Structure 1
Amino acid sequence: MAFTFFFRDLHVLNQLVEHSLPRIAGRSHPRIWDAGAATGQEPYTLSILFAEKMGHFAFGNLRIDATDSEATGQFAQTVQAGLYPEAELARLPAGILEKYFEPGGEPGQLRAAEKLRRRITFQHHDLLSYQEIGQGYSVVLCKNVLLHFQLAERIEVLKMFHRALAPGGLLATEQTQEMPAELAPLFERVSPDGPVFQKRGGCA
């Protein structure tokens, strides 16, 4: 079972959103790839953070493609339904719970608001296939996954993310990860105190 929770690594996510907003402004349909999304707490957190910063129309054009290698379909069902235990959601920051969640279909559960659910899609994907799910992404987020891979595997996965990003797009990883020296020609750090990197070669 994946271990994750809402607003995990908030410092990294806030930095990613801050650096992303100028880059996606004016893009008609900006896309984000959240790789290793597990049961969806991370993409829903990211969706909330963008909703708080973007106008209604701009947020309505945002799409988050959440992926995970879990193959039974359980993760997909959870993400698509947007249903989470009320006890888990009780730890959300003040005002967020009332604004973005509503009573679910079962006692003790709350459902993410439709405006969040409509922004997120889920698909099965194995990062070690080294095949990107698409190209032209403004943002790729992959936290608490790369640490489980060998260095050679991490390098190939990061190359895959580079191919998936639009020119100047942003990549965020977990706080403990350093960009391998071999990939210095592909990425440059844009946040001095956080793992947020820009694809070299212009703006998204």
Structure 2
Amino acid sequence: MAFTYFFRDLQTLEVIADHILPTLKGRRTIDVWSAGCAMGQEPYTIAILLKENMGSMIFRNVRILATDIDHSNLFDAIISKGSYPEQELKRMPKEYFSRYFTPDPEKPGNFIIAEEIRKRLTYQRHNLLTLQPVRTNISLISCKNVLLHFTEEERINVIRMFYESLADGGFFLTEQTQKLPSECGDLFEPVVSNAQVFRKIPL
């Protein structure tokens, strides 16, 4: 089973807070797609970041769709309950931990994420290589630690599918080690020089 943790890749998270959120706050709905979400740490991290930087009223406009191919068939139950081991929460700022997590009475050592965060997120099984968008007019797509498992041709096709899924001016982000293929260079513009965060260029 994949292992990850909350608030991974702080550099990219800071770009979301500083450069992406200001452009999203005015939208009626803010749709986020976390592609390859594993057990939910990444989309829940994004949800907490949005809540902290938007405030409660605007946060109600957020809809996060978390997807994964999930060969284990376990992710849906884990994400729905939102219960995670303490070791996966250690990188989170302490004030966020105290604000959004409470001890899981059924599983000592685990903590459950607050309902106000959980209710903004839904989970769906999805295979990116079908090249079928799960939704369109998306504001932000996060896809980390997935594309590296694909061939170069598959990566290009999936990124083009992400492009079609995004609203004009929407954002695509991936891990630091994953560079944008040159074949997709006319689709996106880099937002910053120190993170793999890109903005859709309308054709």
TM-score exceeds 0.5: yes
Query: 1:127-186, CA deviations, whole angstroms, 9 ceiling, x for partnerless residues?
Result: 111111010000000011111111000000000100110001000011011111111111
Q: Is the 8 A contact 2:156 2:184 kept in 1?
A: yes
Partner of 1:130: 131
Q: Confirm whether residue 3 of structure 1 aligns to residue 3 of structure 2.
A: yes
Partner of 2:142: 141
Q: Is the 8 A contact 2:4 2:88 kept in 1?
A: no
Name which of structure 1's ranges 3-12 and 153-162 shifts more when overlaid on structure 2.
Answer: 3-12
* TM-score, normalisation: structure 1: 0.94
**Structure 1 residue ranges without an equivalent (≥5):** none
Please report how far the alpha carbon of residue 73 of structure 1 lies from its aligned counterpart in structure 2 after TM superposition: 2.9
Query: What percentage of residue pairs aligned between the two structures are identical?
Result: 47
4+ runs of 1 displaced by more than 4 Å?
A: none
Q: Is the 8 A contact 1:83 1:109 kept in 2?
A: yes
Q: Is the 8 A contact 2:38 2:68 kept in 1?
A: yes
Name which of structure 1's ranges 57-66 and 102-111 shifts more when overlaid on structure 2.
Answer: 102-111
Q: Is the 8 A contact 1:162 1:199 kept in 2?
A: yes
**Structure 2 residue ranges without an equivalent (≥5):** none
* TM-score, normalisation: structure 2: 0.95
Task: Return the alpha-carbon distance in structure 1 between the equivalents of residues 11 and 99 of structure 2.
Answer: 21
Task: Return the alpha-carbon distance in structure 2 between the equivalents of residues 103 and 94 of structure 1.
Answer: 15
Partner of 2:42: 42
Task: Return the alpha-carbon distance in structure 1 between the equivalents of residues 91 and 12 of structure 2.
Answer: 19
Partner of 1:85: 85
Task: Return the alpha-carbon distance in structure 1 between the equivalents of residues 86 and 192 of structure 2.
Answer: 34
- Aligned pairs, how many? 202
Name which of structure 1's ranges 125-134 and 11-20 shifts more when overlaid on structure 2.
Answer: 11-20
- Supply the AA of the counterpart residue of 1:41: Q
Q: Is the 8 A contact 1:16 1:172 kept in 2?
A: no
Query: 1:33-60, CA deviations, whole angstroms, 9 ceiling, x for partnerless residues?
Result: 0000000011111111111101210012
Task: Return the alpha-carbon distance in structure 1 between the equivalents of residues 126 and 39 of structure 2.
Answer: 14
